[in-house]
């Protein structure tokens, strides 16, 4: 799934490649893509608008358009925004085609069919993004925020770091790497973490997300940038999908278990579970 580093990479590519472009037409090839307004109004509303800015909020990719409209994408598990034609273009995997000036085309390709798009006014966009937590690479996000927000709760730390109302943009790949980096077991209850562990978590969040951006994202399976290139951060992963392999830090075997319904990878030695820290589930999390 494209997480913060992947969406940030796509956003940077779009800023370079399509900012200032005019949308001469839009073709919705899979109506399931469009959540707001209707697919017909969506295509009609895009025609003739220009892309004034590309930006990201959490895992949302936002193309700001003139007339104060916004084209908002959630690429979910397998969404790819490609300025170069895909090698294969079956209608079954192409969901959207934007015709840009200069005889260019921007494709939205998704073999899973789960990507979603909306055409929103400024007010509708603000309402859509209102409940999201802070951006983890901004100055307002720090260990004190995490401690204040989570230290009284009894939920597992992995589930809360995936909660987009707590912190924006982190998904399953990066949370496993972050917890490994900080030496925190994914089932630790947040009310058992020390001040030092909150500091370590905050530093690990920043370090791993920045590394993912530097390496232009993680391609485990489907992620590609706007020019169809895979990321490189998969070459730097230490636990995600490394189950059955020795931990690079201590040599213990990396494990894979379900935590909160998610496949989770961790080192049982480096991320030791303290005695008395029984798993506890908490409802009301927003993980998408």
- The pLDDT assigned to 114 comes to 96
- Which letter does DSSP use for residue 20 in this model? T
CATH number at residue 196: 1.10.8.50
- The pLDDT assigned to 279 comes to 52
Query: Are 122 and 150 within one domain?
Result: no
Which of 83, 101, 129 marks a domain boundary?
129
pLDDT band at 282 (very low <50, low <70, confident <90, very high): very low
pLDDT band at 281 (very low <50, low <70, confident <90, very high): very low
Active-site positions read: 2-3, 59, 262
CATH number at residue 114: 3.20.190.10
Number of helical H runs and strand E runs in the chain: 7, 11
pLDDT in tens, 105-164: 999 999 999 999 999 999 999 999 999 999 999 998 999 999 999 999 999 999 999 999
Tell me, yes or no, whether 163 lies in a domain: yes
Structure tokens belonging to residue 144 = 């004190």
- Smallest Cα–Cα separation from 158: which of 46, 82, 239? 239
Which of 67, 98, 129 marks a domain boundary?
129
pTM over 0.85: yes
The answer for residues whose C-beta is within 8 angstroms of residue 171's C-beta and 6 or more apart is 1, 3, 4, 59, 162
Looking at the predicted structure, is the pLDDT value of residue 284 above 70?
no
pLDDT in tens, 7-52: 999 999 999 999 999 999 999 999 999 999 999 999 999 999 999 9
What residues does 122 pair with on adjacent strands? none
pLDDT in tens, 70-99: 999 999 999 999 998 776 555 679 999 999
Structure tokens belonging to residue 24 = 């001469």
CB atoms within 10 A of CB 123: 9
Three-class secondary structure of residue 266 per DSSP: strand
Q: Number of folded domains in the chain?
A: 2
- State the residue range of the domain holding 65: 4-129
List the alpha helices (DSSP H) in the chain: 4-17, 39-46, 122-129, 143-150, 157-162, 172-182, 195-214
Tell me, yes or no, whether 274 lies in a domain: no
Q: Over the chain, what is the mean pLDDT?
A: 93
Cα distance between residue 121 and residue 65, in whole Å:
10
pLDDT in tens, 123-137: 999 999 999 999 999
């Amino acid at each position: 799934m494209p997480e913060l580093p992947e969406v940030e990479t796509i956003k940077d590519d779009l800023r370079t490649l399509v900012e200032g472009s005019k949308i001469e037409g839009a073709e919705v090839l899979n109506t399931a893509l469009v959540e707001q307004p209707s697919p017909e109004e969506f295509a009609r509303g895009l025609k003739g608008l220009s892309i004034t800015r590309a930006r990201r909020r959490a895992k949302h990719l936002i193309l700001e358009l003139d007339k104060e409209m916004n084209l908002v994408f959630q690429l979910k598990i397998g969404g790819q925004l490609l300025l170069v034609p895909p090698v294969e273009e079956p209608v079954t995997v192409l969901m959207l085609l934007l015709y840009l000036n200069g005889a260019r085309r921007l494709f939205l390709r998704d073999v899973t069919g789960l990507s979603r798009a909306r055409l929103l006014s400024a007010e509708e966009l603000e309402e859509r993004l209102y409940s999201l937590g802070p951006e983890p690479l901004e100055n307002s996000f720090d260990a004190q925020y995490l401690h204040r927000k989570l230290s009284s709760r009894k939920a597992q730390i992995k589930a809360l770091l995936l909660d987009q109302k707590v912190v924006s943009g982190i998904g399953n790949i990066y949370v496993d790497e972050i917890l490994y980096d900080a030496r925190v077991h994914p089932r630790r209850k947040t009310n058992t973490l020390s001040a030092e562990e909150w500091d370590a978590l905050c530093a690990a969040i920043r370090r791993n997300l920045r590394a993912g951006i530097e390496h232009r994202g993680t391609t485990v399976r489907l992620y590609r940038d706007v020019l169809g290139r895979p990321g490189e951060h998969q070459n730097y992963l230490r636990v995600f999908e490394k189950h059955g392999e020795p931990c690079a830090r201590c040599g213990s075997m990396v494990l894979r278990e379900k935590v909160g319904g998610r496949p989770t990878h961790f080192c049982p030695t480096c991320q030791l579970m303290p005695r008395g820290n029984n798993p506890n589930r908490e409802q009301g999390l927003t993980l998408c």
